[in-house]
Amino acid sequence: MKDHLTLRRADPAYRVVFGDNTSLDLLYDMQKMSDQLEAFEPGAKTKYAGFLDLARKMYEMGIDQFIDKPFSTWGELIDLPELLPKLVDRGWWTLPFLDIAGPYDLLLKKFFKDPRIRSIFSFQTMYVGLTPYRAPGAFCLLAGTELTDGVWYPLGGFQGIGGEMAKVAVKNGVKMRTGTAVDEVVVENGVAVGLRLEGSSEVIRGDAVLVNADLTYAYTHLLKGADANLPRSAGEATSSATPVADFGEYWHKKTFASGVISFLFAFDVEVPRLLQHTVFVGAPDCERQAWQPVSRPEGIAKSPNFYVHTPSKTDPSAAPEGQDSVMILFPVANMQEMEKDGFDMSKPGAYKELTAACRAVIFRRFREAGCGDLEAHLVDEVIRDPQEWKELYNLDHGAAFGLSCGLLQLAMTRPPPKDENGVEGLYFTGASTRPGNGVPLVMMGAGLVANQIAQDFGVEAVNNQGHEGPSKDSAWAAGRPTACEGVPLQGQMPEAHAANTTHSTALEAAAADVVAKSMRQDA
């Protein structure tokens, strides 16, 4: 993507504001970062070196062996003949495997006593809707990659990535359809043959269908006619006449990531103390309470966890001169958790009181942290709660990060990118399939499924340098509200439709793969 985007490294990577209003910046300089930690906890300098070494090794092994690789069986996932030599050659054998399989918080406690230090290496679990008490210790890789590879920002905003992806796709022959919703993935005799558009009898036919809508939504809504069009042997193999619907219902009941209330604020002043990325955490006084999924105002910790993005600190185009634009993500209970707490989620406004309370707490924490009375300088705002997230993006339970990435919903225990319920030619990408949620994993997943489609249809898989060879047949995509069609692929490739029922641009697998592989190198 370096040929299409201007990326700027955020330095410091983050500022973390603690519940006692002290703060610490995440620095790339090893010596300066160590000195900061030593001021909080004597001996932390040495422990930091050991933690960073562990986190980096976990990142390297995780990406190489479990995340950025295709697999459909436990044998392919673990692949001992490939793994064992690397354990020795790359020093992975020194990893504390029991600790990285256990709760992340327990792993951190073996390095640091101060809860504030532990919080700066564990708040990253917020990205995937988890807590350090539910996330496995392997998630230390998130901190490892940020502190070594860095945190990067595309000038013009994240929307620029989608825009540039669209340009790459159009350059390769894509036709965009705006305002086009997908009503159904059409299945005939056990094969996904295309898409039926909403409000139309039109069916866009192809040899394969790639869905990047929320996976559980797709199984329960877009594949509504699939079971009636499966060959009898598929139902017999699963001892069910409705294996597709059963699969969707099974995952609908599983554990989902947290909900999020997003606050988009525009201020007519520059906000002091905030960096581009600032995280407010509850430690040291509200360390554990701040991670609890909040469903009622009285459950909000005195110093809750929330993430603040101020792009105008890096990108002048994000706000007028002398002003700041701010986006806040405040983790709350998702709709599934709200229902368990007695809320009727079929009615709008279930988050109304909670949203008002969260908003008030945010402005209070801003004042306490030295940002000033920002509410007096608020000139515009947009707020979205999980019910709105669900409505806008068809997210099951309004969970912004999809299915949770707990230990029992990772790798082979996570829904596969290729349907295994009797529907041939049906593929998935996105947060709720493998390898997991969060932008980097989703982008890697896009590359993996692109290669899988290519392999299934006898086309050579693409590499990090993009596609090679002549362009022949086309792949297709249709989404909501944007649809794409006619993306030339390299080598002989079937028509592959990609159904996207969110408000992001639907790009078919080949275009997604090009940018995914590039972003992995550059971002």
Answer whether 34's CB lies under 8 Å from 49's CB.
Answer: yes
Query: Can you read off the two tokens belonging to residue 387?
Result: 């019910």
Domain boundaries, given as residue ranges, for the chain? 29-149, 181-231+241-254+403-457, 259-398
Instruction: Indicate if the pLDDT at residue 472 is higher than 70.
Output: no
pLDDT at 497: 52
pLDDT at 333: 96
Query: For 398-417, what is each residue's pLDDT tens digit?
Result: 999 999 988 888 889 999 99
pLDDT at 463: 54
Instruction: Indicate if the pLDDT at residue 281 is higher than 90.
Output: yes
Query: For 329-358, what is each residue's pLDDT tens digit?
Result: 999 999 999 999 999 999 999 999 999 999
User: Amino acid identity of 211?
Assistant: V
Instruction: Indicate if the pLDDT at residue 238 is higher than 80.
Output: no
Query: For 282-319, what is each residue's pLDDT tens digit?
Result: 999 898 999 988 999 999 999 999 999 999 998 988 99
Peptide bond connecting 470 to the previous residue in cis, omega within 30 degrees of 0: no
| Contacting residues for 4 by C-beta, under 8 A, at least 6 apart | 164, 167, 168
pLDDT at 338: 97
Q: pTM of the full predicted structure?
A: 0.85
Question: pLDDT category, 498, cuts 50, 70, 90?
Answer: low
From residue 237, alpha-carbon distances to 192, 277, 351 in Å are 19, 50, 43
Rounded mean pLDDT of the chain? 85
Instruction: Indicate if the pLDDT at residue 455 is higher than 50.
Output: yes
Instruction: Identify which of 520, 506, 500, 516 has the alpha carbon closest to the alpha carbon of residue 446.
Output: 516
Query: Can you read off the two tokens belonging to residue 258?
Result: 């947290």
Instruction: Indicate if the pLDDT at residue 185 is higher than 90.
Output: yes
Instruction: Indicate if the pLDDT at residue 269 is higher than 50.
Output: yes
Question: pLDDT category, 461, cuts 50, 70, 90?
Answer: low
Instruction: Identify which of 257, 423, 235, 437 has the alpha carbon closest to the alpha carbon of residue 333.
Output: 257
Query: Can you read off the two tokens belonging to residue 474?
Result: 């086309």
Instruction: Indicate if the pLDDT at residue 324 is higher than 70.
Output: yes
Residue that wins the pLDDT comparison between 248 and 522 = 248
Q: Which range, of 314-323, 329-338, 424-433, 506-515, averages the lowest pLDDT?
A: 506-515
Query: Can you read off the two tokens belonging to residue 318?
Result: 């994000």
Instruction: Indicate if the pLDDT at residue 186 is higher than 60.
Output: yes
Answer whether 436's CB lies under 8 Å from 414's CB.
Answer: yes
Question: pLDDT category, 48, cuts 50, 70, 90?
Answer: very high
Answer whether 446's CB lies under 8 Å from 513's CB.
Answer: yes
pLDDT at 475: 33
Which of 59-84 are b and which e, b meaning 16 or more Cβ less than 10 Å from the residue's Cβ? bbbbbebbbbbbbeeeeebeeeeeee
pLDDT at 479: 33
Instruction: Give the H/E segment covering residue 474.
Output: strand 471-476
Alpha helices in 253-396 (DSSP H): 335-340, 352-368, 386-393
Q: What is the mean pLDDT of residues 237-259?
A: 88
Query: For 83-124, what is each residue's pLDDT tens digit?
Result: 999 999 989 889 989 998 899 999 999 999 999 999 999 988
Residue that wins the pLDDT comparison between 161 and 210 = 210
Residue that wins the pLDDT comparison between 431 and 499 = 431
| Contacting residues for 240 by C-beta, under 8 A, at least 6 apart | 246
pLDDT at 410: 86
Answer whether 14's CB lies under 8 Å from 279's CB.
Answer: yes
Locate the DSSP E strands across 191-276: 191-197, 203-205, 208-211, 259-267
Round to whole Å and give the CA distance between 47 and 60.
Answer: 20
Peptide bond connecting 293 to the previous residue in cis, omega within 30 degrees of 0: no
Instruction: Indicate if the pLDDT at residue 157 is higher than 60.
Output: yes
Q: What is the mean pLDDT of residues 114-139?
A: 89
Instruction: Indicate if the pLDDT at residue 503 is higher than 70.
Output: no
Answer whether 44's CB lies under 8 Å from 65's CB.
Answer: no
Round to whole Å and give the CA distance between 499 and 423.
Answer: 15
- DSSP code of residue 377: G
**Residues linked to residue 267 through DSSP beta bridges, in sequence order:** 324, 378
The secondary structure of 89-125 as a DSSP string is HTSGGGS-HHHHHSBHHHHHHTT---HHHHHHTTGGG
Rounded-to-10 torsion of CA 55, 60, 66, 70? 150
Instruction: Indicate if the pLDDT at residue 490 is higher than 60.
Output: no
pLDDT at 144: 83
